[in-house]
């Protein structure tokens, strides 16, 4: 171990890694804190500080840090071995659980990250339809691969590079963009590209420009339009899966896509991605069909074990009922607090996802361009003050705050107090 504080570690890290980090959004000024550990709702840094964590590794840690039962299951699996390169029973068990919960899924393929899963899902949609174009939502983030790095949210937007250098124009010429919560625009683009579009890929709740829920009826309309144009609908539920409802946003909003992408929570804190769909689509995947997809670490026994245990606890302890209620109460408390303090800002979110947007005059944030109008510097001042007050929010106006099952009522009260003490003075 290197006996240094976060500042020194960061300086050292920048010598060896671009920006000192392994993923861009983790870098913020003047330097990120270095984690020493995490337990329950808390994350601890090497400088001796303790924070109530609402970043939660950007979503996977729905049970909080280092959940004992997940840890025990993982340790037991480690005893049996951690990588086989052959099929193993756990894959069947987890596949069965997921298929029972997700109406759109009859078969699935395990991969290692959400990025890999969306890449495979889009390839599958193209293979199934024989068409090339896809439609994505402006500000939607589906991982860091070429075809979707156009007007991409998350770190790409935070760092002002939503269209990455190094992506050949040819790679994105088939990626069309429409605005979230605007079904008529989607209808027009589908019309204008009739016969050429393989799929619409959408986060049912936008999660990478801050949480933006769909307006009433929007997802139904997206479903209707994609059916009408015989285009596959891909729900990227990497964030919403196992969070809004056990069966994801498709259960919560009662809209069934053709292809579902899962990740984050499904691996219980270990790397995972999942592509699932009905049998007729999935049977196109190799070795049964001609759409190629493969991975050395896919279906990793440790990940599968952690995912299974996490899903078991979510269901057994009725976790999402509590989390969704906590989300409602934290959003209501934040709205009251902003109102009482006379601060113009917009509180967004659904279920256990929430965010304060510093939008102009506190106007509603319904899509990417609304999100881009928010005052990011003001958000970063809030971020630093909250951190100083012992609360770790994601270090970007464009990332979602998450609540975990480990967050107590007292944690929430402390958090509201922390917002109260700094919200007026930004």
- Positions touching ligand PLP (CB under 6 A) are 58, 113-115, 118, 141-143, 154, 203, 207-208, 236, 238-239, 263, 273
CB of 59 to ligand PLP, least distance (A): 7
Burial 18-46 (b: 16+ CB within 10 A, else e): eebbeebbebbeebbbbbeebebbbbbbb
**Residue 90 or 207 with smaller CB distance to ligand PLP:** 207
Minimal distance, residue 265 CB to ligand PLP, in Å: 11
Q: Tokens 């245990």 — which residue?
A: 309
Ramachandran angles phi, psi of 26, nearest 5°:
-75, -15
Q: Which CB, 162 or 263, lies closer to ligand PLP?
A: 263
In terms of CB distance, is 265 or 338 closer to ligand PLP?
265
Return the closest-CA partner of residue 43 out of 421, 395, 420.
395
Q: In the bound complex, what is the minimum distance in angstroms from residue 275's beta carbon to ligand PLP?
A: 12
Provide the minimum distance between the beta carbon of 115 and ligand PLP in the complex, in angstroms, as a whole number. 3
* Closer CB to ligand PLP, 143 or 301, in the complex: 143
Least distance from ligand PLP to the Cβ atom of residue 50, Å: 26
The span from the CA of 307 to the CA of 268, in Å, is 4
Q: To the nearest whole angstrom, how small is the minimum distance from the Cβ of residue 395 to ligand PLP? A: 14
**The two structure tokens encoding residue 200:** 């619409």
Contact criterion met (CB below 8 Å) for 350 and 205: yes
Nearer to ligand PLP, 252 or 419 (CB): 252
Cα dist from 421 to 39, 223, 381, 416, 425, whole Å: 26, 44, 13, 9, 8
Cα–Cα distance, 105 to 276 (Å, whole number): 5
**Closer of 154 and 348 to ligand PLP (Cβ):** 154
First to last CA, the chain: 38
Tell me how far, at minimum, the Cβ of 57 lies from ligand PLP, in Å. Answer: 10
Q: Which two tokens stand for residue 187?
A: 């209808």
Angle between helices 218-228 and 183-192 (to 10 degrees): 10
Strand 353-357 and strand 346-350: the pairing is antiparallel
Phi, psi of 39 (to 5 degrees): -150, 125
Residue whose Cβ sits closest to ligand PLP: 114
Residue 141 or 252: the one with the smaller Cβ distance to ligand PLP is 141
Rounded Cα gap, residues 126 and 199, in angstroms:
8
In whole angstroms, how close is the CB of 114 to ligand PLP at the nearest point? 2
The residue among 67 and 142 lying less far from ligand PLP, judged by its C-beta, is: 142
């Amino acid at each position: 171990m290197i006996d240094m504080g976060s500042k020194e570690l960061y300086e050292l890290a920048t010598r060896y890694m671009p920006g000192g980090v392994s993923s861009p959004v983790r870098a913020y000024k003047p330097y990120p804190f270095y984690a020493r550990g995490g337990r329950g709702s808390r994350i601890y840094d090497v400088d001796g500080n303790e924070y109530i964590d609402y970043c939660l590794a950007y979503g996977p840690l729905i049970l909080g840090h280092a959940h004992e039962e997940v840890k025990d299951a993982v340790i037991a699996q480690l005893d049996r071995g951690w990588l086989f390169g052959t099929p193993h029973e756990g894959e069947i068990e987890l596949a069965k659980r997921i298929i029972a919960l997700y109406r759109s899924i009859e078969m699935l393929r395990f991969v290692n990250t959400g990025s890999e899963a969306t890449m495979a899902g889009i390839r599958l949609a193209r293979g199934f339809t024989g068409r090339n174009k896809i439609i994505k939502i402006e500000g939607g983030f589906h991982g860091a691969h070429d075809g979707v790095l156009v007007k991409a949210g998350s770190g790409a937007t935070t760092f002002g590079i939503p269209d990455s250098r190094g992506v050949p124009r040819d790679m994105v010429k088939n990626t069309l963009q429409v605005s979230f919560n605007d079904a008529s625009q989607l209808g027009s683009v589908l019309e204008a590209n009739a016969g050429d579009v393989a799929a619409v890929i959408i986060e049912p709740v936008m999660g990478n420009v801050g949480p933006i829920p769909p307006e009433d009826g929007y997802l139904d309309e997206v479903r209707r339009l994609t059916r009408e144009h015989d285009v596959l609908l891909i729900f990227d539920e990497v964030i919403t899966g196992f969070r809004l409802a056990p069966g994801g946003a498709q259960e919560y909003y009662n809209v069934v896509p053709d292809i579902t992408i899962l990740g984050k929570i499904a691996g219980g804190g270990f790397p995972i991605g999942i592509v699932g769909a009905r049998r007729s689509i999935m049977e196109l995947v190799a070795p049964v069909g001609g759409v190629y997809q493969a991975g050395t670490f896919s279906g990793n026994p440790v990940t599968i074990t952690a995912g299974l245990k996490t899903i078991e606890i979510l269901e057994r302890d009725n976790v999402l009922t509590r989390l969704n209620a906590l989300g409602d109460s934290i959003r209501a408390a934040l709205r009251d607090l902003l109102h009482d303090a006379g601060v113009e800002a917009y509180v967004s979110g659904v279920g256990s996802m929430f965010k304060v947007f510093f939008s102009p005059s506190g106007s509603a944030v319904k899509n990417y361009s609304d999100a881009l109008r928010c005052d990011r510097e003001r958000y970063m001042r809030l971020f630093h003050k909250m951190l100083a007050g012992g609360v770790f929010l994601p270090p970007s106006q464009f990332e979602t705050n998450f609540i975990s099952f480990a967050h107590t009522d007292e944690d929430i009260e402390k958090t509201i107090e922390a917002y109260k003490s700094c919200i007026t003075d930004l």
